[in-house]
Amino acid sequence: MTTGARGTNRDATDPDAPGAATASLSTHQGWQEVEYLVNQFNFFKDMDIAGKKNQLVFGVELSKHNVVNGVYNVTNNGTSNCVVSGRGGAGPGYCTTDANGNTPSNINTIMGRSITKGAQDSDYNIETISLSLMDTIELSEDWSLFTGIRLDDFDYDNTVDSRGTILDFKYSDSLWNGHIGAVYQINDDANVYLTYSTSANINGGESDVGGNCGYGGLCGDPEQAANSEPEMTANIELGTKWNILNDKLLATAAIFQITKSDVMESVGDDYATLGTLNTGKNRVQGIEFSLVGNISSKLSTQFGASFMESEILESYNTDSEGKVLSNFADDSVFLQLRYQASPKFSFGGTLTYSSELYAGQPDSAAGFSSTTGEYSYEVPSYTVFDAFASYQFSEQLKARVNIGNVTDEDYYLAAYRSGAFTYIGEARNAHLSVDYEF
């Protein structure tokens, strides 16, 4: 259960401050019962085939994922203090400011909510049996080849209550994916690799939103959904790895391209669609760097940075083609430094940076204004600092303290297409953990 706040203006019919800027409150809620079971077996076998050493890995996996999703019955008993506009027109609402722009004294209880558990709106079930085979082949002292194949055979069932209409989405399918690549050993400390891999996602919608297409749910005709194609992702990557400082640090660099095709899109109006169809395609290209290991006998680091570009290649809405992906940060940086001050005491900190991104729905174009020629809602970039320290009291007892967002930075992680809903990053926080091994 969450209270949402949306920046808006009081309606012209508001009796106290017509047209005044304010923020209106709303209720966002839901309950879930989740059951997840997975069991995996791996078998390893080294053998010579055609005079070449092969390292084989056989895998068998069984998974069951069941999600019952529902809503709460919510009644707002509080007295309305404003009139605001909504999809159904102007109506009484709850505002965070009074007619004079001040915060009401009862802001924490203004809505007076009464809450009871309501009925379920979806019953999402998927069972999957997976088989995989991977092999690494030593072709020579300098060259090795790695390859693999995976089969996912699934049964999917989702009974959805779509505004009073019961829809039963049910189908089975088998998904084949694989990877292949080669590694060239430049010397004892460095290599270069090239790899190509694929993956697939079923047309199952998001388990927590039922049949609401506007939020990523599965909707439309059940037969149409069953006959759709899985979303396919292809990744190609060229990279290199280097051991430096006498094998104390591992440095890596890679360029990559990820292309996702047959992307499920809500075709039609966002809230009354024809269904989720395979009409989208997008691509991400980028370069990444990392550095992991010991700088000195006491100082260690983890560093990673990526610089990317995204693009919508195909869409049911042709105006989206050429735009960037929503809620996608092009640039990101992570740096951690850890100092071992003594055999028992260590401390350090981390820096996390993310560039700006633009509001929208997953796997879709960011919102764009044809009037201004700019993206509609920008989520600003942010930099967050964390700190940590640990002390080893004995072989059995260890304590650790973590302080997140040391500077108490206000920052946002993502935003929905209207810009009204945002995911707020954590405020300053502290955690103390104590471990004892028997």
Rounded to whole angstroms, the Cα distance separating 282 from 366 reads: 12
Nearest alpha carbon to residue 132 among 192, 96, 175, 91: 175
Residue 25 maps to a domain:
no
Question: pLDDT, tens digit, for every residue of 375-434?
Answer: 888 999 999 999 999 999 999 999 999 999 999 999 999 988 777 778 899 999 999 999
Task: Examine residue 91 and state whether it is found in any structural domain, yes or no.
Answer: no
Q: Is the pLDDT of residue 347 over 60?
A: yes
Exposed, middle or buried by CB within 10 Å (0-12, 13-18, 19+), for 326? buried
One domain, residues 287 and 349: no
Residues forming a β-bridge with 137: 54, 145
Q: 276 near 266, Cβ under 8 Å?
A: yes
- Residue 425: which of 434, 413, 408 has the closest Cα? 413
Contact (Cβ atoms closer than 8 angstroms) between residue 179 and residue 148: yes
Residues 304, 171 within the same domain = yes
pLDDT at residue 260, rounded to an integer: 96
Do 143 and 205 lie in one domain? The reply is: yes
pLDDT in tens, 297-311: 999 999 999 999 999
HEC profile for 351-391? Answer: EEEECCEECCCCCCECCEECCCCEECCEECCEEEEEEEEEE
286 shares a domain with 251: yes
What pLDDT band is residue 362 in, cutting at 50, 70 and 90?
confident
Residue 275, pLDDT > 90, answer: no
Give the CATH number, domain containing residue 150. Answer: 2.40.170.20
Residues 365 and 302 both lie in one domain: no
Identity of the residue numbered 280? G
User: How confident is the model over 238-253, as a mean pLDDT?
Assistant: 95
Percent helix, percent strand, percent coil in the chain, to nearest 5? 5, 65, 30
Whether residue 312 sits in one domain with residue 230: yes
Q: Is 169 exposed, middle or buried (0-12, 13-18, 19+ CB in 10 A)?
A: buried
DSSP assignment letter at 10? B
- What would the pLDDT profile of 205-226 be if each residue is shown by its tens digit? 777 777 676 666 777 778 877 7
Give the pLDDT score at 165.
83
Residue 150 belongs to some domain of the structure: yes
Q: How many helices (H) and strands (E) does the chain have?
A: 1, 25
In-domain check, residue 372? yes
- In this structure, are 438 and 410 located in the same domain? yes
Query: H or E stretch including 222?
Result: helix 222-226
Domain co-membership, 301 together with 341: no
Q: What phi and psi, each to the nearest 5 degrees, are found at residue 51?
A: 80, 5
Number of domains in the chain: 2
Domain range for 406 = 332-438
| Whether residues 317 and 338 fall in one domain | no
Q: What is the mean pLDDT of residues 273-292?
A: 88
| Residue 114 in domain | no
Stretch 224-237: mean pLDDT: 89
- Look at residue 270 in the predicted model and tell me its pLDDT: 52
* 49 has pLDDT over 80: yes
**pLDDT-above-70 percentage for the chain:** 96
Residue 371's closest CA among 328, 324, 319?
A: 319
Residues constituting the chain:
438
> Distances in Å between the alpha carbon of 182 and those of 145, 147, 231, 240?
4, 9, 26, 12
Is residue 158 assigned to a domain?
A: yes
Stated as kind and residue range, the H or E segment containing 84 is strand 82-86
Long-range CB contacts for residues 350-354, cutoff 8 Å, separation at least 24: 350/385, 350/386, 350/387, 350/388, 351/383, 351/384, 351/385, 352/383, 352/384, 352/385, 352/386, 353/381, 353/382, 353/383, 353/384, 354/329, 354/381, 354/382
Do 318 and 344 have their domain in common? no
Q: What is the mean pLDDT of residues 123-144?
A: 96
Residues 6+ apart with CB under 8 A from 267: 273, 274, 275, 276, 277, 279, 316
Residues 301 and 347 in one domain: no
Mean pLDDT of 86-105: 91
| 347 burial type by CB count under 10 A (0-12 exposed, 13-18 middle, 19+ buried) | middle
Q: What would the mean pLDDT of 24-37 be, rounded to a whole number?
A: 91
Question: Which of 277, 299, 322 is a domain's end point?
Answer: 322
Determine the pLDDT at residue 243.
Answer: 96
Confidence of residue 268 (pLDDT cuts 50, 70, 90): low
Q: Over the stretch 188-211, which tens digit does the pLDDT of each residue have?
A: 999 999 999 999 988 887 777 776
Domain boundary among 322, 340, 372: 322
Are the CB atoms for 245 and 297 separated by under 8 Å?
no
Q: Which of 322, 357, 378 is the last residue of a domain?
A: 322
Closest CA to 113 of 179, 27, 173, 222: 27
Whether residues 382 and 434 share a domain: the answer is: yes
Q: Flag whether 229 is in a domain.
A: yes
The residue with greater pLDDT, 333 or 87, is 333
Provide, rounded to the nearest whole percent, the portion of the chain with pLDDT above 90: 72
Give domain status of residue 59, yes or no.
no
157-161, 217-221, 236-240, 412-416: lowest mean pLDDT where?
217-221
Average pLDDT of the chain to the nearest whole number = 91
